[in-house]
Amino acid sequence: MPRVRTLYGPNSEVLKQFVPTPRGPSMVAFDAAGSGRRLSTWQPPRGTSMASIVRSDLRDLRDRSRDAVRKSLYASAAKQSWVGNVVGTGISLSSMVEGDTGLQQAIKALWEEWTDEADAEGVSDLYGMQRTVASALFEAGEIFVRFRPRRLGDGLSVPLQLQLIESEQVPLEKNEVLPNGNIVRMGIEFDRVIQSRRVAYWMFRNHPGDYGTGQALGDLVRVPATEVLHIFDPLRPGQIRGIPKLATSLLTLWELDKFTDNVLVKQTIGAGFTGFFTWTASGDNGPPLGAAKPDGAPADSTVGFTTVEPGTFPELPPGADVKFATPPDIGAQFEAFMKVNLRAIASALDVLYEHLTGDYAGVTYTSMRAAVLEIRRRIEQLQHHVLIFQLCRPIYWRWLEAAVLAGALPTLSASRYVNDQRAVRKARWLPDPWPWVDPIKDRMAEILAVRAGMKSLSDVIEQEGETTADTLRQLSEDFKLAFDTYDLILDSDASRTAKSGAVQKAESAALGG
C-alpha cells in the first residue's frame, strides 16, 4: 500500500493527509539539473512554497534590510531613487464619469481637499502616505493600511481616514487553526472553505518594537479584512506576505560596505604617517624599539611619535635620520571593481547606476534614454499592478462610498451610486510624469506621434500627470482671455496660428489682413 504522509499544524492538529507522488529518474537534460562536482554544493530547498520561504526568512530579511537603509550609503541612495521614481509627488486621481463633467469636477475638488486630511496621524497628506508605502515595500516588502471611519461631527470633508501599520505588527508567529475552522497563517486569517479568501488580520495594538509600551505577545486584535489593505508585491502564486525589495542585494551591499570601510581605514592610517626617525651609531644599527636613544636625544628617551607642523625646521639630534612614508596605493582596479558591483546592485534594485552613485561620467543621450526606458517599464509594472490596484483603487472606492453616505457630493445621490456603481467609480490614476532626458527631442517625438494618429492627445497630457478635460478647459480659457481681452494671438493657439507661425487665413480675414 502507498505510504500516507500527514501534515501537522503548530498544535499537533492534522491539517492534511496525502500520498506523495514518486519521483521518476532524472534525465539531466539541463546542465543546471546535474549533481556533479561543480553543483555538489548547490542544494536549494526542494519544492518549497513561497509562503514557507517567507515564513522562514522574512524576519531576518526585514531586519537586515532596515539596518542596511539606516547604515549603508548605497542602500539609502537606492531607496530614495526608487521611491522617487515609483511615487514622485504622488499618484493622482482623474474621475472618468462619462457624460457628467460637473460630477467629475466635484469629485476631483472634494478628493483634493480630502487628501490633506487622509492621514489618521496627521503627519502627511495622502501623497506622502503613498511615499511611505513605497518606502515600506523597499525596506520590509509590505505594509498594511487600515480604514478609520470618523464621525460626521469631526469636521472632515469626508468622514474617513487611513492608518499605516508596519509589517511587524502582524506577527509571523501567529499560525493556528481556530475553533470555527478558519486557518491563521502568519497573522492572516483565511476562510475554512475558500482557503484563499482573507477573512481578518491579527494585529498588535502597538508596534512590538516600541519602547515602553508594555506590549505582550498575546495582546492581539482581530481586524476584519474589509477594514485592511495589505500592500505587497507577489513574486509567486500562493505568496501571502511580502519580501523586501533589497532582499537579493543585501549580502552584496553588506560585503561591499565592509570592503570600502577597510580600504578607507587603510588609507586613513597610511596617510597619518608622514615619516619615520631612524637612529644610527657606529658599530650598530641603532637602538631597538623602546630602547634608550643616543646622547643628545630629547628628554623622552623612548621611541615615540613626533608631530610635524608647516613652516618648521626641527633640529635632529646626532645619529637621527628621517625616512618619509609612502602612503598605500588604493589600487588601479578599485574603481572598476566598485563599478561592476554597483551596476549589478542598481540593476537588481531597478534604479539607475548614475542615480545610485552620482557618477555621470561617460553618459550620453542615447545610453541614458535606453536606461531610463528600461527602468520605466519595471517601475510602471509596480505602479499599476501593486500601488494602483492594491492601494489607490480600493481607497478611492471606500472614500467615494463614505462621501455619498455623508452627503459630501450633492450631485451624486445614494440611489444613483448604488444602481450605477461601476460607471460612477470609473477613474484613471496618473503617476508622476517621468522627466525628459532631452526635452526638445522628446517633445518633437510626441508631436509627430499625435499628428500621425499613432497616439492620442489624452495619452500625452496624462503622461504629464494632468487630466485631459482640465488641461483643455484651461487652454481654452487662456486663449479666450488672450484674444478677446488683450487682443493677443499666441503661437500655441492652433486655431489661429499655423505650425509655421503664420496667422490662419480665416483669422487673417477677420482681422482685416
The pTM of the full predicted model, rounded to 2 decimals, is 0.78
CB 20 within 8 Å of CB 3: yes
Q: Has residue 204 got a pLDDT over 60?
A: yes
Whole-number pLDDT of residue 19: 67
Q: Has residue 230 got a pLDDT over 70?
A: yes
Whole-number pLDDT of residue 24: 60
Residue 506 located in a structural domain:
no
- Which of 320 and 481 is assigned the larger pLDDT? 481
Q: Has residue 302 got a pLDDT over 60?
A: no
One-letter amino acid of 260: T
Q: Has residue 293 got a pLDDT over 60?
A: no
Measuring CA to CA, which residue among 105, 113, 170 is closest to residue 140? 170
Please tell me the least confidently modeled range out of 81-85, 279-283, 395-399, 402-406: 279-283
Residue 482 located in a structural domain:
no
Measuring CA to CA, which residue among 235, 220, 137 is closest to residue 184? 220
Measuring CA to CA, which residue among 461, 487, 403, 421 is closest to residue 112? 403
Helices 73-86 and 365-382 pack at an angle, to 10 degrees, of 70
The total number of residues shown for the chain amounts to: 513
Q: Has residue 12 got a pLDDT over 70?
A: no
Q: Has residue 218 got a pLDDT over 70?
A: no
84 — pLDDT class (breaks 50, 70, 90): very high
- Other beta carbons within 10 Å of 453: 7
Stated as kind and residue range, the H or E segment containing 255 is helix 250-271
- Other beta carbons within 10 Å of 459: 13
Mean pLDDT, rounded, for 331-348: 87
Q: Has residue 509 got a pLDDT over 50?
A: no
Whole-number pLDDT of residue 11: 63
Please tell me the least confidently modeled range out of 113-127, 145-159, 410-424: 410-424
Whole-number pLDDT of residue 392: 96
For the chain, how big is the Rg over CA atoms in Å? 33
Query: Which residues lie closer than 8 Å to 102 by C-beta, 6 or more apart?
Result: 411
190 — pLDDT class (breaks 50, 70, 90): very high
Q: Has residue 446 got a pLDDT over 70?
A: yes
134 — pLDDT class (breaks 50, 70, 90): very high
Mean pLDDT, rounded, for 405-420: 91
Please tell me the least confidently modeled range out of 202-211, 214-223, 248-257, 369-378: 214-223
Question: Average model confidence (pLDDT) for the chain?
Answer: 82
Whole-number pLDDT of residue 314: 67
- C-alpha span between 308 and 39 (Å, rounded): 58
Its sign, for the CA torsion 201, 204, 205, 208, is negative
Residue 455 located in a structural domain:
no
Residue 40 located in a structural domain:
no
Measuring CA to CA, which residue among 53, 166, 197, 231 is closest to residue 189? 197
What is the number of domains present in the chain? 1
283 — pLDDT class (breaks 50, 70, 90): very low
- Which of 467 and 200 is assigned the larger pLDDT? 200
Residue 480 located in a structural domain:
no
Please tell me the least confidently modeled range out of 9-13, 237-241, 509-513: 509-513
Mean pLDDT, rounded, for 407-414: 91
Model confidence pLDDT, tens digit, residues 320-330 = 777 776 766 67
Among 212-216, 243-247, 304-308, the range with the most confident prediction by mean pLDDT is 243-247
Residue 300 located in a structural domain:
no
Residue 290 located in a structural domain:
no
Whole-number pLDDT of residue 388: 96
- Which of 484 and 227 is assigned the larger pLDDT? 227
Longest dimension (CA), the chain: 113
288 — pLDDT class (breaks 50, 70, 90): very low
191 — pLDDT class (breaks 50, 70, 90): very high
Q: Which phi and psi angles does 8 have, rounded to 5°?
A: -100, 150
Mean pLDDT, rounded, for 401-426: 91
One-letter amino acid of 67: D
Domain that holds residue 163: 1-22+49-273+325-434
Model confidence pLDDT, tens digit, residues 17-43 = 666 666 665 566 777 777 777 877 787
188 — pLDDT class (breaks 50, 70, 90): very high
Whole-number pLDDT of residue 208: 87
Whole-number pLDDT of residue 79: 95
Question: Grid coordinates 480675414 are at which residue?
Answer: 509
Residue 339 located in a structural domain:
yes
Whole-number pLDDT of residue 100: 82
Q: Has residue 513 got a pLDDT over 90?
A: no
Among 70-84, 332-346, 354-368, 449-463, the range with the most confident prediction by mean pLDDT is 70-84
Whole-number pLDDT of residue 37: 79
